[in-house]
Structure 1
Amino acid sequence: MDRLQAMQVFTRVVDSNSFTRAADSLGLPRATVTTAVQSLENLLHVRLLNRTTRRISLTPDGAAYYERCARILADIEETEASFREVSRGPKGRLRIDVPAPVGRLFLIPRLCEFHTRYPDIELVIGMGDRPVDLVRESVDCVIRVGELQDSTLVARRIGTMETVTCAAPDYLERHGAPGTLDDLQDHRAVHYFSSRTGRVIDLDFVVDDKVVEVKVPGKVSVNDADAYVACGLQGFGVIQPPRFMVHAHLQSGALREVLPQWQPSPMPISVVYLQNRHLSPKVRAFVDWAAELFSRCPILGRCDGHSTECSFVGTQDGHTLQALMDQPEMAVQP
């Protein structure tokens, strides 16, 4: 058995968590699968798997080798796919990761459109607020909000996320509406902290074309966007969520905008992928579709944050909304 085939056998054993199931799925004798893994261990001079009568598990070396094997095999599959049956369009498994609010409220409601256009692409969607390592976690591309730091990645700007400063009416009745940024020292804020660093992200405002951060006292801290909005709705303090997340709440009066004369700084939205992914047809298909999707919704484009061109429909609690994309396209800054 050659080394590439042995790598395929090893990854199948790990994925199926069983030598027997791996052998069945590959159409090989179990003894052949066992021998292939043992040969790899002898070649590498490390133990890849811990084996007991009931279960198998990766050793630290095995976990590192599995990640490399998965990436190598994926690269080979993508290279072959890019030259094979081109007329049928992009195909294969595509792993993406997006911020949970963007995925739940914006991307997921439009998946049928993507599937209709690219029926041979299988999407695997991760949603969360933590940053993912595209190489270690075998993710093909991600949608990220904010300035990008990793220069080894390729990024395409597809929109801008506008945020809004707001609070619940009962909170404002108890504390009054702030009239200046200095007034915020007498108020409370719901704190959002980074899942990666644990640092609280302060409120910020654009004043005379400069971003000013304001520390506001608070009694509740969360690291989830939905929980952040929920705490604001319950009157725990001032919040600065993405405008698209609270659009329905602002329309219904469940939240009220404060300090509109000082808008929070907008954040760029980018679709990001590895440099060696730029030739993959399935990655290119998703990147182009995401850019088109975002360009059709002005509330996620560069606008004044009060555009009525992109309307929303929500449940009574406002947690489910769907953008109606029949409006004229709005240019998104590159």
Structure 2
Amino acid sequence: MDRLEAMSILIEVVETGSFSAAARRLRVPLTTVARKISNLEAVLGAELLIRTTRKLSLTDAGATYLVAARRILDQVDEVEREVAGEFTAPKGDLTITAPVQFGQIHVLPIVTDFLAAFPEINIKLLLLDRNVQLAEDQVDMAVRIGRLPDSALISTTIGEMRTVVCASSELLAVHGTPQTMDDLQNMPCITFDGPGPLAGWKFNDPKTRKSLLVPVKTRLSVTTAEAAVRASLRHVGVTRLLHYQVADAVQARSLQIILERFEPDTAPVNLVHSERGQMPIKMRRFMDFAVPRLRRVLLELGEAGNQSARGL
């Protein structure tokens, strides 16, 4: 039997929680998955999984074997990449993910310049407004905006991002420019949020720096930042977005940032990856290439925002 294949199948079964889910992910028949696990248990002379109608769980022997299987497969993968030249020459494939709009505007130009500089590296750029699981989805690196949860990911900070409230001058001429949270609650708002119910917008009290959750009057709810910007440009209401999402409209003075003194703390922006130990040179080259450029992008965004606030 192919012992490495059986180890890989065991890992998939444990990670997905069932034989059927593992079969779907691996794109093999369910009977093949079950047979491979049974053959592995027969060769080892030990039961690895406890099968019930409701769930699968590892036996003590299975838990021990799983740790060893992961280590062995990681070592095999590292050796194969070294033989293929990934640790000695910048070559191979990279998969990188970033938020849709930030990726289109700021990451894509860096990627295209990188491809021109390194002709033996190919990149798959996934632009998604959700966080993928790097190891499970076979993603090498990700641009993440916001606080990172405790995890095994390795992060490199590339800057920070403001969350801003803005509106068109025409809307403010009709309703007045809000100066307080009470004023904001009387304004028509364009909300851009996830599938859950909107409780309100978060701000900081400028005196105490404590977090405030302010209910807002939703005039229009949209599912993309671009739609929120477009509606705001048409004077529908006040909107609240990450600064990069409205930077062009603010710089063109089509939208005006308001309530700056109530802004919440800036969100960190990181480039994260899951590699430990020796990093493939293709990843190291991209880190060295992209990090200073992304830092410059975020610094310029911040400076442009400060100039707009001063009316320069």
Query: TM-score, with normalisation over the residues of structure 1?
Result: 0.65
User: Which residue among 35, 40, 46 is the counterpart of 2:36?
Assistant: 40
Residue number in structure 2 paired with 1:131: 131
- In the alignment, what sits opposite 2:118? 118
Provide closer, same or farther for how the CA distance between residues 2 and 18 of structure 1 changes in structure 2, counting only shifts above 3 A.
closer
Find the counterpart in structure 2 of residue 258 from structure 1.
Answer: 258
Which residue does 1:89 correspond to in 2? 89
Supply the distance in 1 between the matched residues of 2:92 and 2:7 (Cα, whole angstroms). 20
Structure 2 stretches lacking a partner, 5+ long: 13-22, 42-54, 57-68
Tell me, what secondary structure is at the counterpart of 1:285? helix
1:160 deviates by: 1.0
Given the alignment of the two structures, is residue 145 of structure 1 paired with residue 145 of structure 2, yes or no?
Answer: yes
d(CA) in 2 for partners of 1:171, 1:95: 43
Name the aligned partner's letter for residue 210 of structure 1: R
Deviation at 1:156, TM superposition (A): 1.3
**Is 1:175 aligned to 2:171, yes or no?**
no
Deviation per CA, 1:76-114, whole angstroms, max 9, x where unpaired? 444432465468623222222111111011011222211
- What are the Cα deviations for residues 38-59 of structure 1, in whole angstroms up to 9, with x where unaligned? 96365369xxxxxxxxxxxxxx
Q: What residue number does 1:290 align with?
A: 290
Contact 1:168 1:233 in 2 (8 A): yes
Aligned position for 2:59: none
Would you say 1:247 and 2:243 are equivalent positions? no
Cα distance in 1 for residues equivalent to 2:193 and 2:108: 26
More helix by share: 2
Aligned-pair CA distance for 1:115: 0.8
Contact 1:97 1:142 in 2 (8 A): yes
**Equivalent residue, structure 2, for 1:212:** 211
Describe the SS at the equivalent of 1:272. strand
Percent identity, aligned pairs only, is 28
Question: Cα distance, 1:279 vs. partner?
Answer: 2.3
How big is the shift at 1:290? 2.5
Query: Secondary structure in 2 aligned to 1:130?
Result: coil
In the superposition, the TM-score normalised over structure 2's length comes to 0.69
The Cα RMSD (Å) is 3.9
Question: How far, CA to CA, are the matches of 2:288 and 2:84 in structure 1?
Answer: 21
Residue 187, structure 1, aligned to residue 187, structure 2: yes
In the alignment, structure 1 segments of 5+ residues that lack a partner are 20-35, 46-59, 62-68, 309-334
After superposition, the Cα gap between the structure-2 partners of 1:39 and 1:212, relative to the gap in structure 1 and judged at 3 Å, is closer
Letter in 2 for 1:96: I
Tell me the distance in 2 between the aligned counterparts of 1:72 and 1:94: 23
Distance in 1 (CA, whole Å) between partners of 2:74 and 2:120 is 16
